[in-house]
Structure 1
């Protein structure tokens, strides 16, 4: 991760004027005379998932004590938040703030359901890749709190050293005598996210980039020569039984935790289960299959403000002066083990060698595209990979058809 040395975002107490401004905000649908005894006092409604709820509860309580602004936390299934937010915000029934993944931004912005957040100089307190990911068309739309990516999880008792190439990894796995030389979740419709580092190692990104590093939807690269080579490699791995659509995320995790393979390509979310099983772990770069760098997608999570919120000042203060502080971001890390987006918080937790190693791999990664055109890619990408792995046609023809279908869908 691109860590820069910036001073920590100061928490500080809000001034009396700021507190008065906050409590005087018009809350619209979120106005609540509730238990505060203040008729019409401001209430922020915040959508959050189960994993982050406990930390958010403490941050909300501190914010309310300082500002007088109440915070109503509504727990949501993370996988359903994007669709529900897009559906509810235009009706005025959505929250003031929601937790979000950065790759939802294209959908959010084009549907007009989010508004930019003013971070000012404090933007420099966050890791550069996090701010870049939470930005769209030159504007920042979210307060980032975590960064995550996949890497190679290694059982050091079965594989004492890190592999330097895909072929070496497979050979080391075979030499270990385990059921699987290596594991990666694929599933019935494949898993392009987990297989993407192998794809990039053949020089086949999804999109090309503009001079500023943003993705260019008019420069579709997935069907290039490297992509065709990757497709044929997928077919070879499927035929050899090294990639299987019968191996989903749960099975891959279970098999690795039980010692059935020295290697698992996964994210930090599976570290605890392996440690609980007594496995001695190391985290390594994903080895290249095509000769170029194997670059994983980097995902950033954060909080965005509804375009319909009537409590923008309060929402911004809550995010920047509470969620954007070191203590809260460290607490969020402790419940999810995803590297903090705030530089000072990341530096505090990077004494953990697992976190530091994931961060090092992420530094070589690329942000998951957040542009709306990515929807067309997901529509065809995984099912095509699955067909290739399962030998359901000529890999070159299947991959080229996929690229043509994606292009047609983008051009509409």
Structure 2
């Protein structure tokens, strides 16, 4: 990201400025006065007419796009408005240009929460109304993921995480602690996961009271990085011990870990819902359970949240918010059936009959937290992976790995901010 992100953001901001008030105000038409007043409609000069609003939503969802349009048609019929869902690969600059043109998108329904901050930074996302949803009715990690700089911009749609898979031919009962896991793994092929990625290592970092960015007052403090402190050193040492004792190979990658479990070579694997079908097709006898505890604490895994947001350039914001409410309440259960997306709304989860595998993921989600929804996170992946690889090869100590991860991460953020 570094210089590229700054150049892209500058280009996006210039698009916003140059577009002025152009917006997408062309999306309205007059219709006879009848039925219920559409959400977001305003009183016109004539009491005998009302305004029907046309809204366009972009989505990154693929197999679910047709289903979303089906519900868009239902909402349109019920409200007198018109909603269109467009499936597309969403990029910041592309959205900025389109949102500032007549007939552009009024929002995005279905984008990863770690992308949200870039749209907020570019002034393209509208803050969520205070009364839009009740936080207590949503997965807590999903609520946290919807905030950027202390304000809520995202509407949580669906959640996912990783958890423990185990081969039922090799393990009779799943472990409840990491000590138990490693004890049984000694004679059953070890435990496999991409230990060079912070995505899979987050639980170890958190178990030793460390963190990526400090979270306080609904915002991440990018000046407070915890990957170089004493807790991080202990976490890296714990992971390195698994390499030294042969549980994980020093050249471990996602593909190596996944293949080992798929081929029946290892008892344990840390993976996500995206792995389930492949393992079933391969004929692996497996089960999925919540992660074992570490240091007497729940093992924290990253919770990915798909969110929606309303474009700050939309002239139909009320209608879009109303449509989002409708989709969350009416379509979420079917989105799970079509795309296996676990609803972020707890009351909707209760309406769905879920199998044991999905229930295990849901239980683990309760112990998870989102990866920080800030653009600076993108600067972590390379220094973390590079230094963990050197740690596994014996070229760095845990203390040195912590030092270099911390310093290189901070340097990358500084370069990103300076545009160098």
CA separation of 1:19 and 1:360: change in aligned 2, threshold 3 A: closer
2-side partners of 1:257 and 1:23: how far apart?
A: 61
Alignment partner for residue 372 of structure 2, among 369, 374, 382?
Answer: 369
Among 99, 106, 111, the alignment partner of 1:100 is 111
Q: Answer yes or no: is the 8 Å Cα contact 2:59–2:111 preserved in 1.
A: no
SS of 1:237's equivalent in the other structure is helix
For the pair 1:202 / 2:196, whether they are aligned, the reply is no
Higher mean Cα deviation, 262-271 or 121-130?
A: 121-130
Indicate whether 1:331 and 2:351 are aligned: no
What is the deviation of 1:251? 4.3
Task: Find the counterpart in structure 1 of residue 222 from structure 2.
Answer: 217
Rounded to whole Å, the distance in 2 between the matches of 1:387 and 1:85 is: 39
> Residue 349 of structure 1 contacts residue 355 of structure 1 at CA under 8 Å; is this kept in 2?
no
- The answer (yes or no) to whether the contact 1:245–1:390 under 8 Å persists in 2 is yes
Quick check: 1:288–1:294 contact (8 Å CA) kept in 2?
yes
Q: Which runs of 5+ in 1 are unaligned?
A: 1-13, 25-38
| Mapped partners of 2:231, 2:150: distance in 1 | 30
CA deviations 1:50-106 (Å, max 9, x no partner) are 1321321221221232234443333234xx545644675467786322221222232
SS of aligned partner of 1:154: strand
Contact conserved, 1:181 with 1:242, CA < 8 A, in 2?
Answer: yes
Q: Of the candidates 131, 134, 141, which is equivalent to residue 123 of structure 1?
A: 134
Q: State the distance in 2 between where 1:237 and 1:20 align.
A: 57
Q: How does 1:307-318 map to 2 (within 5 A)?
A: 307-318=312-323
1:248-263 residue pairs with structure 2 within 5 A?
248-263=253-268
C-alpha distance in 1 between matches for 2:227 and 2:382:
14
Task: Pick which of 351-360 and 240-249 moved more.
Answer: 240-249
Distance 2:258 2:43 in 1: 48
Q: Which residue does the alignment assign to 2:38?
A: 18
Could you say which residue in structure 1 is the equivalent of 2:400?
397
Instruction: Please tell me whether the aligned partners of residues 234 and 398 of structure 2 are also in contact (alpha carbons under 8 angstroms).
Output: no
* Contact 1:203 1:292 (C-alpha < 8 Å) held by counterparts: no
Structure-2 change in CA distance of 1:300 and 1:45 (3 Å):
closer
TM normalised by structure 1 equals 0.79
- Structure 1 residues 65, 390: closer, same or farther in 2, change over 3 A? farther
| Aligned position for 1:181 | 190
TM-aligned CA distance change 1:275 to 1:395, over 3 Å? same
Please tell me whether the aligned partners of residues 45 and 71 of structure 1 are also in contact (alpha carbons under 8 angstroms): yes
Counterpart CA distance in 2 for 1:265 and 1:59 is 35
Aligned length: 374
Q: Per the alignment, do residues 311 and 245 of structure 1 end up closer, same or farther by CA in structure 2, a change over 3 Å counting?
A: farther
Give the distance between the partners of 1:71 and 1:245, measured in 2 at CA: 52
The C-alpha deviation readout for 1:170-196, integer Å capped at 9, x for no partner, is: 3323323xxx4222135xxx3210121
The offset of 1:143, in angstroms, is 1.9
In 1, distance between residues paired with 2:117 and 2:74? 32
**What is aligned with 2:79?**
67
Cα RMSD (Å) of the superposition? 3.2
Aligned counterpart, 2:325: 320
Runs (5+) with no aligned partner, structure 2: 1-33, 45-50
1:296 aligned to 295, 301, 308, which one? 301
- 1:132/1:397 CA distance change after superposition, 3 Å: closer
| Shift of residue 278, structure 1, vs aligned partner | 4.6
Preserved contact between residue 44 and residue 96 of structure 1 (Cα < 8 Å) = yes
1:328: how far off?
0.9
Structure 1 pair 184–379 and aligned structure 2 pair: CA distance change class (3 A): closer
